[in-house]
Amino acid sequence: MSALVWLKRDLRWRDHAPLATAALHEQALALYIVEPEWLASPGFDPQHLAFALACLAELRATLAARGLPLLVRVGPAVDVLAQLRREYPYRHLLSHEETGEGWSYARDRAVAAWCRAQGVLWTESPQTGVVRRLRDRKGWAARWHARMDAPEVAMPEGFAGARVDTPDGPTLASLGLPPARPLPAAGERAALDLLDGFLAGRGRVYRRALSSPLSAAEGCSRLSPHLAFGTVSMRHVHQATEATIANTPDRTLAHALRGFAGRLRWHCHFMQKLEDEPAIEHRNFARVCDGLREDAFDRERFEAWCEGRTGFPMVDACMRSLRATGWLNFRMRAMLVSFAAYHLWLHWREPGLFLARQFLDYEPGIHWSQMQMQSGTTGINTLRIYSPTKQAMDHDPEGVFIRRWVPEFGTPAYPRPIVDERAALRLARERLYALRATPEARAEADAVQQRHGSRKAGLPPSGARAPRTRRRAEAEASPLQQELFR
């Protein structure tokens, strides 16, 4: 039987189940599709495609050296798959599962229907801790560990590759797209180099470096674009991190990496929310929040926030930095969303789309879950309102970051604050706390917690195992416990 590997957000060679399976077939071919639906989606930016194409260039050479051709074609997925089947009569379609935006969910349903009609067997393999068709969150964390602790997929020596022409793929220019902003190094080799350097010592300052925009760029792993595009597997990052924690004599490094390991777990926890409820890309988690901000959207405030001219220097510096580099540390991302949601009283959807275009590491599952969490519309999370002034005092006390990105700060050219912070926050709190006090909100919060809330699962902390008696007790813990991992 001949096989076709459909690459999506898995642009790597190592730990790749569909590629490994393809080697068992009589003939195989790999394909990446540049889909018009993606290019037209409101969260797309040319930097996303530029990064993907750079990753594909490396992967194409890696696969070619093992005898597997990689095609890059443009068009709707079903059309491309159908056209290719006329040229190369594959009977088995292999891919990884994807938790993405609504357009990709609809695309996958169309591909599944086409495969059934054509007699093509489509096998999808999991590649993160996200579980398909999950009934509830009980035991989810244990499943995450079982999947991440399993051995990496053994990769074959070579393939019986199909005999096809592999012309050069598209470029941004050939697709009529503008040039992308400057990008970091792309591809699997870059991802592994980043991981190795982080685990070898750069991550030693992780815990104290991650909150400040001055230190986070160097102190964080910077693997997020690579996890988003799959140039390295979550399992490989997890296992390499745990091995370093277990074996390093540097306890400061081990302590820092335990914090990093915890965030790997939260990565999939947030993605699971979108997998379980795709509608949260468009509507509030808690429906009692419907109408809270939608009719109050202020376009002028929104544009000032997008352009980094709100008159709040830490907000403006972070936004300008993000727009220039495509990356920002987590705390400052949260501050930007908090400012839009509470200070400016903007509904999260438009700011979320704007930020999706700015983030090179845009991961829909994490992004939309966080947009709602930081906007107070999940109904279950504590309201997290970030003061830009306090963030500047705590994480840029000398004003170095602000002066770098807002050079006109302190001069007449810099705008006055776009809102009265104290009055804006008082009004935001009054509205949200009043809503949360209603019986309807409390009842809905219970339902949201049951479906999406985190839970303990009797799991060991990174780099150690809990005593047997404690593990058993925690495995029996209430499903309503709030913490996913210790």
DSSP code of residue 108: H
The CA distance from 72 to 234, in Å, is 25
Query: Looking at the domain covering 188-276, what would its CATH class be?
Result: mainly alpha
User: What is the structure's pLDDT at 412?
Assistant: 97
Report residue 217 as tokens: 């760029």
> What pLDDT does residue 134 have?
87
- Which residues define the annotated binding site for FAD? 206, 260
Report the interhelical angle of 349-358 vs 313-325 (nearest 10°): 50
Quick one: pLDDT at residue 466? 42
3-state secondary structure 212-257: CCCCHHHHCCCCHHHHHHCCCCHHHHHHHHHHHHHHCCCHHHHHHH
At the topology level, CATH places domain 287-452 in DNA Cyclobutane Dipyrimidine Photolyase, subunit A; domain 3 (1.10.579)
**Six-digit token string for 302:** 């929104």
> Could you read off the pLDDT of 312-328 as tens digits, one per residue?
999 999 999 999 999 99
Please report the pLDDT score of residue 463 as a whole number.
53
Q: Give burial (CB, 10 Å; 0-12/13-18/19+) of 247.
A: exposed
Looking at residue 287, the DSSP 8-state letter turns out to be G
What pLDDT score was predicted for residue 443?
A: 86
Alpha helix ranges (H) inside 308-348? 313-325, 330-338
Cβ atoms of residues 312 and 397 within 8 Å: no
What does the domain layout of the chain look like in residue ranges? 2-127, 188-276, 287-452
> Encoding tokens for residue 222?
């910077």
Distance CA 314, CA 395 (A): 10
Same CATH topology for 188-276 and 287-452: the answer is: no
In this structure, the number of other CB atoms found within 10 A of the CB of residue 107 comes to: 21
DSSP letter at 120 equals: -
* Exposed / middle / buried, residue 102 (Cβ in 10 Å: 0-12, 13-18, 19+): middle
Residues in the chain: 486
Residues of the chain under the 70 pLDDT cut: 454-486
**pLDDT at 25 (0 to 100):** 97
Specify the CATH superfamily of domain 2-127. HUPs (3.40.50.620)
pLDDT at 456: 54
The SS3 assignment for 328 reads: coil
| Token pair belonging to 317 | 């510096």
3 state SS of 29:
strand
Candidates 38, 67, 65; CA nearest to 52 is 38
Q: Is 30 helix (H, G, I), strand (E, B) or coil?
A: strand
Give residue 440's region: left, alpha or beta (phi > 0; psi -120 to 50): alpha
pLDDT at 477: 33
Residues making up the binding site:
206, 260
